[in-house]
Amino acid sequence: MDSLALWFAETLGQYVSGEAVIFLISMIPILELRGGLLVAWSIGVPILKAIPICIVGNIIPIPFILLFIKSIFKWMKRFPIFQGLVGRMEERAMKRSDTIKKYEFWGLMLFVGIPLPGTGAWTGSLIAALLDVDLKKAVVAELLGIAIATFIVSVLSYGLLGSVLG
């Protein structure tokens, strides 16, 4: 993930500001807020500036995924070229859904909040939509999860990395 985030930073950084780079990275699946904060640290964006930018970037896709992904997938499945892709995406998301199925609100919050590979707001939103989790409950759980992830990644990047590498 780090190399992918840095690639985006180098590529986008030629055309837009560092703040725009971390905002865009925070919106991208897989990278999300975690990648945005790591890149922010690596390019020298101050933590108090980076955190709100990355949070907003990570939040923006959530309502669209929760509200529209099932309809988008249904439409895409009408075309043979997309059937395999959609099937793999649904299968991959549902493989990670056990905690959310079992604990719903708390499971979704922890799934989004614990910064591990394959977790985060994008996948959490996809799973919540596929499991028909209540919209308000899903949004609140994901916002709390983003707050947890922000704290953890900020401490790791600006705290630990900052003191070790800075």
List, in order, residues 6 or more apart from 106 with CB less than 8 Å away: 141
In this structure, are 75 and 119 located in the same domain?
A: yes
Instruction: Judge whether 35 and 4 are in contact, CB under 8 Å.
Output: yes
pLDDT digits (tens, 9 = 90+) for 115-157: 988 899 999 999 999 999 999 999 999 999 999 999 999 998 8
Q: Tell whether 43 and 66 lie within a shared domain.
A: no
- Indicate whether 35 and 92 sit together in one domain: no
Q: What is the pLDDT of residue 36?
A: 94
Tell whether 84 and 134 lie within a shared domain.
Answer: yes
Q: Are residues 17 and 71 in the same domain?
A: no
Domain count for the chain: 2
- If asked whether residues 14 and 71 sit together in one domain, one would say no
Mean pLDDT value across the chain = 90
pLDDT tens-place string over residues 40-61:
998 999 999 999 999 999 999 9
Residue 111: how many CB atoms within 10 A of its CB?
26
55/93 same-domain check: no
pTM for the structure as a whole: 0.87
